[in-house]
Structure 1
Amino acid sequence: MEEEIREFQEYFSTALKDDVFNLIQGYPKVRSLAVDLAVFAQQYSDLAAAIMEKPDDYQKAAEEALRKTVEALGGQVLQGSGKPRVRFYNLPGKEILVQYLGAEHLNKLVQVQGVINLMTDIRPKMQVALWECTYCETTTKNYPDKSGLKPPILCGKCGKKEFVLLESTSDFVNTQYGQMQDLLERVQGSSTPSHIDVWFEDDLTNVVMPGETISITGVLRLMPRLEKGRAKSSIYGKAFDVVHVKKEEKEFEDISISKDEEQKILELSRNPRLQELIVGSIAPSIWGHKEVKAAIALQLFGGTPDKLLSDGSKVRSDIHVLLVGDPGVAKSQLLKFTELLAPKCIYVAGRGASGVGLTASAEKDKAGEGWVLKAGALVLASGGLVAIDEFDKMDKDDRANIHEALEQQQISIAKAGIVTRFKAKTSVLAAANPKLGRFDSNMQVADQFDIPPALLSRFDLIFTMRDVLDEPRDRKVAEHILKGLQQSAGVKAGTSEKVKVEGIESDLLRKYIAYARRTVFPRLTDEAMEKIKDYYLELRLLGNKTQTFPITARDLEGLVRLSEAMAKMRLSPAVELQDAEFAIALKDFVLKDVFVDKATGKLDTDVINLGRSHAKADRIRTILNVIRELERQVDLVETNEVLKRCVESGLDEQEAMRVIEELKRQGELYSPKAGFLKTAVSRTWKE
């Protein structure tokens, strides 16, 4: 290896001389020299190829050359765990997917890109074990591997087999275990991403967090498996010893777009029917629901990311959409199609997803030796979308875990001394059923949502999807479904065909979305800003007259996000008047469908944000005040007397009775015996 060491030393002292000086000045805090292997190969092609074929041998040669180079330049470094490391990266050729790592890559230097979904805390690893013979006290070194510590076979001096491990004088290095999976955008449709164990050592520990996208260079190793306690299996596991790690920041950078495809994307963006074509390409097998499809289209494009306010706080750019509908109205189909179309998406079902499975967690590892940080769906899909079906079936505690992720776009963990945050810049498309299974036209729409108001208020758009008995509409739905089935009759079962969409081929649309998200960052024009402001002020003025809250400042931010997404759909750097008008029309549709108080016919966002309209809050206050006034006179208050006084106060008797029953369900009131009421606690009800 003398010739190879000389070549390494020559390269380090010339091409990387400044980097070596930086290492000397920063040592021991800085103790790695990064070597771009693609650049190195231009000068030493044979040696670069040898490094990739036999990385263990040439890694040692490179680090010996680095030691000599440092000493030649007047520096001093430690040996053992403190010695400087050479970290090769940017290998010539393409990166390999985790799912394709196999026997041909064993013990070779390869480069893989993926996302970290699990990470342990730092642990000391013995890299040089020192053993003492119990008979002659001769010490012997060996190098443990991942299969465990093994004493020497024989003492080199006396030939005995009894040894004791000298832990205090053995050499240790920091190590960290993680798990990496293929990027979602590189996995087609609903395919499951492949995983691999990864090991970080020395100055590579505490560099990455779960949920981060990284490109790693390393050596693929075999991991022996035990069967029936002791017997070795002939099937081995695999793990990755990391040599170099680089964080990837750009969205969808891994989705390859050729020059021809880019030209098609630009031509499509100039089509005057662009918005109609894209919306029509969202689940074309499903008839109708144009507004819902438009919302999903805008959600896929998203708003302008990384906006900062003057005080340094960030503004959410991801759009959250909730679909609440009767059974059989294609909610799940819309979610599944979105999963296939979105460049980066995770689909989960509410029944099978726990709160920590959606967010993140800190748990004891299987061996009980430390803590493991696990990233959930909202973290792993950061920069993309999570589709949550049966959102209403999730446990209440689990739903509470996603509050922070929906608004702050981060997930905080504070457990057993671990305090950390995960990035969760993820859009959420959720689907749920009404509380009673189907919508009841006689009830307030918002009262039929089995989702807490605090969580509902995080969604930018909420749609109701109702199965209405309507002969002309039913005829169109039937014709659309049957025609689609007729056309697909020739497709053989079990074949894997691309999803065909009306107007735009699905692969092109997928790349169009990725191209827009990574290259277009629109800003509001004065005209668009004035339009949004006028709409907001108009509704606030209406609320002042009707004593309701038709719109809030949170809705204002949502309108900006929708407008930016519309501009991004057009690949426009500016949010223009037409974009604001489209966003306002969509918001107006939702307000009139969901946010109207059925009793008064007035727009009121309190029906969602507080779980009751302003008018209903007044009715509750009136009823409770009547009951408390009567309680001062008698121990038990007659229900009929309460209803009589409520009618005298201007309330409808049936509505008053409905409110009383609701207050009983909520625990505000109870019936000590039939026909009588009593307040559960003595307190003043607050709006």
Structure 2
Amino acid sequence: IRPFNLGKTVNTRELGPEDIDRLVTVKGLMLRASSIIPNVKKAFFQCLVCDQTVTSEVDRGRITEPTKCPRQECGALNSMSLIHNRGEYADKQVCRMQEMPESIPDGQTPQSISLVCHDDLVDVCKPGDRLEITAVFRGVPVRVNPRQRTIKALYRTYLDVVHIKKTDRRRLTVDDDIANQDGRKPAYQSGDEIEVQSEDMIAKIQEISRLPNLYETLARSVAPSIFEHDDIKKGVLLQMFGGTNKTFQKAGSPRYRGDINVLLVGDPGTSKSQILTYVHKIAPRGVYTSGKGSSAVGLTAYVTRDPDTRQLVLESGALVLSDGGICCIDEFDKMSDATRSVLHEVMEQQTVSVAKAGIITTLNARTSLLAAANPIHSQFDLLYLVLDIVNEQSDRRLARHILSLYIEDAPETGGTQVIPIDTLTSYISYARNHCHPVLSEDASATLIQCYLDLRKLGGGKQITATTRQLESMVRLSEARAKLRLSNTVEKEDVEEASRLIREGLKESAMDPRTGLLDMDLLTTGQGSYDRGHLEDMRKELLNLLNATDKATLRWADVLAEFNAQSSVGISEEQFSRALAELEQQQYVKVSGRRGLRVIKKLT
């Protein structure tokens, strides 16, 4: 018998002594799961004197060992020996569950409790799953010493699981048909915190998908309290829908990710963190973290010692826990380089490789990354520059918008129609589960043309797009097709994806001196114009040094003479960079500090 749906759900921290040996329902987040442990169901004993056998049932983990041989002719005391290979065993697994992040009281740390699963409940859930557990709350005494029978007054508690309900449909890893092939009801259930499978909700979702201005309506519904930033909202909206993961059948073909990564870069006070917080609330599965408070192992996976078995176990970090969802990272630029470098594998291969403390494995991290800061990374599909520009007209509209929030709680940019957050979450979940769009012939031709147009924006000299931008366009096009609940990517989907990428690049990769796009500004922080200018300075500086007979020159004198000969003066920083190039090529050597610096010619 596996009861569930008790009606009342209690929190982990609310369980007390009065609940021991009672049936309770607890919601929580799975942290870790042990390997499968063989658990004795029926013990087999044999007499060492007369070979008489007897079986003993196990009651709550305790085996009643016979004190003497049951055969009357023998009756030998303490002669019964346990025969391991003739007993009956069942699968057992010990898991650790933490209370839900949203149910933790302010200012307190999350509490966790052990779960003991048996038989068909083993390996049903994995770390990161949100669960609703129906279990018996147990308390067992703790021995002072494993070799002594003396026990402490303190009891250790755990949950003896009888039923598991998953609250996210997309995380189900066990096939219902396999678990139900013997005719019994499965011991676990898949569900959703917001039931998207109900007929009323599906009818409502289909009705929304037929709206004439669906794309604009859904974009307005994303964080309606945030003023403008329409393209950013559209990009984040497409990220939540996601593209389609593809693995081609040809031998050696790699797996192409469908998850979209978005980076928001800009001035403080431009609502970047608010957008991250909003996405974290409605994303089906995700983790919110700050760059300064995150370490490399905290994002990927770390090795810890299990308090019960004292063995080393692997615990999942933020990126692995948000597998299948969105990981929001704020203050991305405050993150250390070592921490940020672990994201490269996650963003491209969508895995986390671990080799530490004798544990060598690869974990799935199929997550979309939404970050806010100003670093330099090329793995992001969309990069938005969020600037705070002084403009009286836009400032007046922003002030009116903020005041409307206080007065009427109805933002101006919300428009006439805004979809409620619950319905929007259900719509996104339904689209991700039921729509798997493929490219049409027309869309493929448009995709090639848009990519070629993007390559031409640099005037033939600068790199304006790479194959990464082409793959980004494919992912965004698929996401926009999902938004329409369509299984085919159309021409207008590709055009909108191309527009979003082009607008993002115009803001972040536009060289202010030439007015052309240059991807090197994103990847190296230096455009082709700056590199050419630096090369010209290096040549002129080398000619100046070769023109003099002195082997050693003062740094300040060379800078003054260089500026005197040049029509356009250069700064000390530019001069230092040109000298560093010459020093790297072993033409000169710079020694000394500040005003005492000297330049020594090596050739």
Q: Which interval holds the TM-score relative to the shorter structure?
A: 0.7 to 0.9
Whether the 8 Å CA contact 1:117–1:376 is kept in 2: the answer is no
Q: Taking structure 1 as reference, are residues 368 and 111 closer, same or farther at Cα in structure 2, changes over 3 Å only?
A: closer
Q: Taking structure 1 as reference, are residues 583 and 167 closer, same or farther at Cα in structure 2, changes over 3 Å only?
A: same
- Does 2:503 match 1:589? yes
Q: Which one-letter code corresponds to 2:405 in the other structure? A: G
Whether the 8 Å CA contact 2:294–2:335 is kept in 1: the answer is yes
Cross-structure match for 2:148: none
Task: Tell me the alpha carbon deviations over residues 472-528 of structure 1, each in whole angstroms, 9 at most, x when there is no partner.
Answer: 211111111111111249xxxxxxxxx999511111111111111111111122222
Task: Tell me the alpha carbon deviations over residues 221-260 of structure 1, each in whole angstroms, 9 at most, x when there is no partner.
Answer: 514477999753579443548999972589x963422212
Q: Taking structure 1 as reference, are residues 156 and 228 closer, same or farther at Cα in structure 2, changes over 3 Å only?
A: closer
Instruction: After TM superposition, give the deviation of residue 546 of structure 1 in Å.
Output: 4.5
Distance 1:167 1:612 in 2: 74
Whether the 8 Å CA contact 1:213–1:247 is kept in 2: the answer is no
Superposition pairs of residues 182-193 of structure 1, within 5 angstroms:
none
Cross-structure match for 1:52: 2
Q: Which one-letter code corresponds to 1:179 in the other structure? A: R
Distance 1:335 1:228 in 2: 49
- Does 2:94 match 1:177? yes
Q: Taking structure 1 as reference, are residues 681 and 263 closer, same or farther at Cα in structure 2, changes over 3 Å only?
A: farther
Instruction: After TM superposition, give the deviation of residue 602 of structure 1 in Å.
Output: 2.2
Cross-structure match for 2:233: 293
Cross-structure match for 1:44: none
Cross-structure match for 1:62: none
Which residue among 13, 17, 31 is the counterpart of 1:117? 31
Task: Tell me the alpha carbon deviations over residues 117-144 of structure 1, each in whole angstroms, 9 at most, x when there is no partner.
Answer: 32345677788899999xxxx9999888
Give me the TM-score of the superposition, normalised by structure 1: 0.66
Task: Tell me the alpha carbon deviations over residues 557-583 of structure 1, each in whole angstroms, 9 at most, x when there is no partner.
Answer: 011111111111111211111111111
Cross-structure match for 2:379: 458
Whether the 8 Å CA contact 2:92–2:118 is kept in 1: the answer is yes
Tell me the secondary structure at the aligned position of residue 361 of structure 2: strand
Which residue among 400, 420, 429 is the counterpart of 1:479? 400
Instruction: After TM superposition, give the deviation of residue 182 of structure 1 in Å.
Output: 8.0
Distance 1:241 1:461 in 2: 46
Q: Taking structure 1 as reference, are residues 639 and 198 closer, same or farther at Cα in structure 2, changes over 3 Å only?
A: farther
Q: Which one-letter code corresponds to 1:503 in the other structure? A: V
Cross-structure match for 1:256: 195
Superposition pairs of residues 367-446 of structure 1, within 5 angstroms:
369-432=310-373
Which residue among 281, 286, 289 is the counterpart of 1:348? 289
Distance 1:609 1:663 in 2: 23
Instruction: After TM superposition, give the deviation of residue 331 of structure 1 in Å.
Output: 1.4
Distance 1:662 1:124 in 2: 69
Q: Taking structure 1 as reference, are residues 344 and 182 closer, same or farther at Cα in structure 2, changes over 3 Å only?
A: farther
Distance 2:407 2:378 in 1: 42
Q: Taking structure 1 as reference, are residues 607 and 461 closer, same or farther at Cα in structure 2, changes over 3 Å only?
A: same
Cross-structure match for 1:532: 447
Q: Unaligned stretches of 5+ in structure 1?
A: 1-50, 54-90, 433-448, 490-498
Whether the 8 Å CA contact 1:280–1:503 is kept in 2: the answer is yes
Distance 2:326 2:416 in 1: 20
Could you say which structure has the higher helix fraction?
A: 1
Figure out how many residues of one structure are paired with residues of the other and give that number.
Answer: 553
RMSD of equivalent CA atoms: 5.2
- What is the percentage of aligned positions where both structures have the same residue? 32
Q: Unaligned stretches of 5+ in structure 2?
A: 146-150, 167-171, 177-189
Whether the 8 Å CA contact 2:44–2:82 is kept in 1: the answer is yes
Tell me the secondary structure at the aligned position of residue 247 of structure 1: coil
Cross-structure match for 2:517: 603
- Does 2:138 match 1:222? yes
Q: Taking structure 1 as reference, are residues 174 and 259 closer, same or farther at Cα in structure 2, changes over 3 Å only?
A: closer
Which residue among 507, 515, 518 is the counterpart of 2:430? 515
Q: Taking structure 1 as reference, are residues 578 and 244 closer, same or farther at Cα in structure 2, changes over 3 Å only?
A: closer
Which residue among 244, 253, 257 is the counterpart of 1:304? 244
Tell me the secondary structure at the aligned position of residue 536 of structure 1: helix
Whether the 8 Å CA contact 1:409–1:426 is kept in 2: the answer is yes
Distance 1:378 1:104 in 2: 35
Instruction: After TM superposition, give the deviation of residue 334 of structure 1 in Å.
Output: 1.2
- Does 2:117 match 1:197? no
Whether the 8 Å CA contact 2:116–2:159 is kept in 1: the answer is no
Whether the 8 Å CA contact 1:200–1:242 is kept in 2: the answer is no
Distance 2:579 2:33 in 1: 47
Tell me the secondary structure at the aligned position of residue 653 of structure 1: coil
Give me the TM-score of the superposition, normalised by structure 2: 0.74
Which residue among 411, 421, 440 is the counterpart of 1:506? 421
Distance 2:327 2:227 in 1: 24
Instruction: After TM superposition, give the deviation of residue 272 of structure 1 in Å.
Output: 1.4
Distance 1:500 1:140 in 2: 78
Cross-structure match for 2:183: none
Tell me the secondary structure at the aligned position of residue 292 of structure 2: helix
Which residue among 377, 384, 388 is the counterpart of 1:467? 388
Q: Which one-letter code corresponds to 1:672 in the other structure? A: G
Whether the 8 Å CA contact 1:532–1:580 is kept in 2: the answer is yes
Q: Taking structure 1 as reference, are residues 646 and 247 closer, same or farther at Cα in structure 2, changes over 3 Å only?
A: farther
Tell me the secondary structure at the aligned position of residue 351 of structure 1: coil
Tell me the secondary structure at the aligned position of residue 52 of structure 1: coil
Distance 1:276 1:578 in 2: 14
